[in-house]
Chains A and B, each alone.
Chain A
Amino acid sequence: MITAEALTKRYGTTTAVDGLSFTAHPGTVTGFLGPNGAGKSTTMRMVLGLERPTAGSVLVDGQRYADLRAPLRTVGAMLDVRSAHPGRTAFRHLLALARTHGIPRSRVDEVLGLTGLQSVAGRRVKGFSLGMGQRLGIAAALLGDPSTLVLDEPVNGLDPDGVLWIRSLVRDLAAEGRTVFLSSHLMHELALCADRVVVVGRGRLLADASVAELLERSRAAGVVRVRTTVPDRLAPALVRAGAAVAVEPDGALHVRGASLEEVGAVAGEVGATLLELTAEAGSLEAAYLELTGGSVEHRAGSR
């Protein structure tokens, strides 16, 4: 379990993390979502004790990371692909880590197998692709069979196979009762594998909600496109239900402020025959953009 309490990190006058509080619970996958530069990686480095908070605290199973008796057996982390010496082989890198905790060599072979790296275990890391580097990072994270996993952008650079593998891996790890805390800047990625999502922007907490709640919000924020044989009857009914309706040139209605299900229900009430009913693509992303809209550091064409 990871508990952050008013966690704050300042570098000089820049505030990277600003009073962040959240909890990642055992048995769940907690997504950590935010645009680049939102303070996700800084937060994760503070979880791992590589950086000290300016104020507040972050605890793993109720303890500071530096006070853990066997860190690798408690927390497994993948923070950066560049965490292994390029001149060492994958096997050596893992073996050295294992030796700090008296983890047997057989476990090194096991995690190499789990991550599909057996065939390249004897190769030096400098020849690894981004995806192989990610797998090596995950192998290192799993080495101590930890109850908490911290993964920074684990799907970055993976091929579609690897992305599917990570999704099922984190689901399985959580199903075994472990705490999984993983960051991403992609909302739809987290929607596929996370139970809860902690959203940050400019170091501040923007939302801490279940994926279902966020989906609900995104429906409310999104646009539903509906085409019917009787737009004149459906449009006033939708307005009465509290939605905003605009008529498109092709005769379809664009509905804001109502979910897909609500539009369908209203159509049923007034007996309108539907030809098409769709949530406009990207509505999930739209909700995320709305949440983080004020907190993106650089925006294209904002001049």
Chain B
Amino acid sequence: MRAPGPSFPRVVHAEWTKLLGLRSTHVVVVATVGLVGFLTHLSSSASAGDPGFVPTRGLADVLPLAFLGVLVLGVVVGAGEHSTGTFRSTFAAVPQRIPVLLAQAVVTAAVALWTGVLSVAAAVLGILPAAASREMTPDLATAGVPGLLLGSGGFLVGAGLLGLAFGALLRRPVPALVAAVVLFLVAPVVLSIAADTGDDPVAVHDPEDPPAATAVVNTVESFTPVGAGAVLTNPGGGGLDGAPDLGAAGSALVLGCWVAVPLTVAAVRLRRRDLV
């Protein structure tokens, strides 16, 4: 006879059932993929008139935006459990608790990866009209599409898990989303604006010798999830001015650490504290 109680594959199966049973999951995936395709199309059409137009160069322009969609998905999974009261039935069924969080990570990562693959496909579709208008055939094999697929997939998995970790930690969707957006999307912009105001506006731009403030900000940004994502979604693009070039592997590691820390804290809180 099969074991009567919860096992990890069973908990993953249950979380998969829960995730696909929510309309928001489908909405987020469709909206993210649609938006990436549409905006890639707009930006590529806008530059189609340039003399040196290379259609595949616009592939990664909009992909970092998918970060937000998948982040929302993760937050919904992590915080929804607590804010709706579902945790009562979930953790009564799996009193060890931690397998639930890990299973949520697995299913969130799976949907994020799927969103990444579809987004790249949407981006490819997005550049086709512009390429056709110039009677060009985009050369996908040499444009690093395999690397882009891998990088985007990894970046969006990271984004989904970040959302999950923040949601599971803060247990309320709105504060979790606000915290994640401020930390990952607003703070880098504020930092770079701050660095720009310190620059000499008429100085000659030299990528080999950027102003000190810019170098510091760019270094910090390389170590943020979005900075890491910019590298992952733009394979072969190189690092920011004055910042060390972490490469795809290094950036993936940076993103992995950003995920691991809040997820571990969430796991400790889940394990130790009462669920009320």
Interface presence of A51 (CB below 8 A): yes
Which B245-276 residues have C-beta < 8 A from chain A? Answer: 274-276
Chain B: interface residue count, which band?
20 to 34
Are B5 and A79 touching (Cβ within 8 A)? no
Closest Cβ of chain B to A28, distance in Å, is 23
A49/B95 contact (C-beta < 8 A), A70-B4, A102-B10 known: yes
Are B92 and A82 touching (Cβ within 8 A)? no
Are B94 and A69 touching (Cβ within 8 A)? no
Are B85 and A87 touching (Cβ within 8 A)? no
Q: Mark A66-87, 1 if CB is under 8 A from B, else 0.
A: 1011111101010110111111
Cβ-closest chain B residue relative to A46? B274
A55 proximity list for chain B (CB < 8 A):
none
Contact of A71 among B5, B22, B85 (CB under 8 A): B5
Contact of B274 among A50, A75, A89, A99 (CB under 8 A): A50
Closest Cβ of chain B to A105, distance in Å, is 11
Cβ-closest chain A residue relative to B99? A100
Which of A90-98, A166-174, A288-296 lies at the interface with chain B? A90-98
Which of B11-19, B55-63, B218-226 lies at the interface with chain A? B11-19
Cα–Cα, bound, A45→B273 (Å): 13
Cβ-closest chain A residue relative to B276? A51
Interface presence of B197 (CB below 8 A): no
Cα–Cα, bound, A216→B227 (Å): 75
A102/B2 contact (C-beta < 8 A), A88-B18, A96-B14, A96-B21 known: yes
Cα–Cα, bound, A101→B85 (Å): 20
Contact of B91 among A50, A70, A80 (CB under 8 A): A50
Cβ-closest chain B residue relative to A126? B84
B22 proximity list for chain A (CB < 8 A):
85, 87-88
A83/B89 contact (C-beta < 8 A), A71-B95, A100-B11, A101-B10 known: yes
Interface presence of B88 (CB below 8 A): yes
A96 proximity list for chain B (CB < 8 A):
14-15, 17-18, 21
Interface presence of A140 (CB below 8 A): yes
Contact of B93 among A51, A79, A82, A101 (CB under 8 A): A101
Q: Mark B1-34, 1 if CB is under 8 A from A, else 0.
A: 0111110001101110110011110000000000
Cα–Cα, bound, A54→B157 (Å): 40
Which B25-70 residues have C-beta < 8 A from chain A? Answer: none
Contact of A85 among B2, B4, B80, B93 (CB under 8 A): B80
Cα–Cα, bound, A25→B95 (Å): 23
Cβ-closest chain B residue relative to A94? B89
Cα–Cα, bound, A99→B99 (Å): 14
Which B73-107 residues have C-beta < 8 A from chain A? Answer: 80, 84-86, 88-96
Are B92 and A99 touching (Cβ within 8 A)? no
Interface presence of A52 (CB below 8 A): yes
Cα–Cα, bound, A66→B13 (Å): 21
Are B95 and A82 touching (Cβ within 8 A)? no
Are B6 and A101 touching (Cβ within 8 A)? yes
Cβ-closest chain B residue relative to A99? B14
Cα–Cα, bound, A100→B90 (Å): 9
Are A83 and B88 touching (Cβ within 8 A)? yes
Cβ-closest chain A residue relative to B17? A96
Are B80 and A69 touching (Cβ within 8 A)? no
A68 proximity list for chain B (CB < 8 A):
5, 95
B21 proximity list for chain A (CB < 8 A):
85, 87-89, 92-93, 96
Are B4 and A102 touching (Cβ within 8 A)? yes
Are A97 and B14 touching (Cβ within 8 A)? yes
Interface presence of A2 (CB below 8 A): no
Closest Cβ of chain B to A154, distance in Å, is 15
B91 proximity list for chain A (CB < 8 A):
49-50
A93 proximity list for chain B (CB < 8 A):
21, 89
Cα–Cα, bound, A28→B228 (Å): 61
Which A9-59 residues have C-beta < 8 A from chain B? Answer: 45, 48-52
B274 proximity list for chain A (CB < 8 A):
45, 50-52
Are B276 and A50 touching (Cβ within 8 A)? yes
Are A51 and B6 touching (Cβ within 8 A)? no
A97 proximity list for chain B (CB < 8 A):
14, 89-90, 93
Are B94 and A83 touching (Cβ within 8 A)? no
B86 proximity list for chain A (CB < 8 A):
83-85
Among B3, B10, B89, B96, max chain A CB count under 10 A is at B89
Cα–Cα, bound, A140→B3 (Å): 20
Are B17 and A95 touching (Cβ within 8 A)? yes
Interface presence of A181 (CB below 8 A): no
Cα–Cα, bound, A170→B2 (Å): 30
A71 proximity list for chain B (CB < 8 A):
5-6, 92-95
Closest Cβ of chain A to B270, distance in Å, is 12
A85/B18 contact (C-beta < 8 A), A69-B4, A100-B11, A102-B10 known: yes
Closest Cβ of chain A to B168, distance in Å, is 15
Closest Cβ of chain B to A278, distance in Å, is 45
25 chain-A/chain-B pairs, Cβ below 8 angstroms: A45-B275, A45-B276, A48-B95, A49-B95, A51-B275, A66-B95, A66-B96, A68-B5, A69-B3, A69-B5, A71-B93, A72-B93, A77-B92, A80-B88, A82-B84, A83-B89, A85-B80, A85-B84, A88-B21, A92-B21, A96-B14, A97-B93, A99-B10, A101-B10, A101-B93
- B interface residue numbers (CB < 8 A to A): 2-6, 10-11, 13-15, 17-18, 21-24, 80, 84-86, 88-96, 274-276
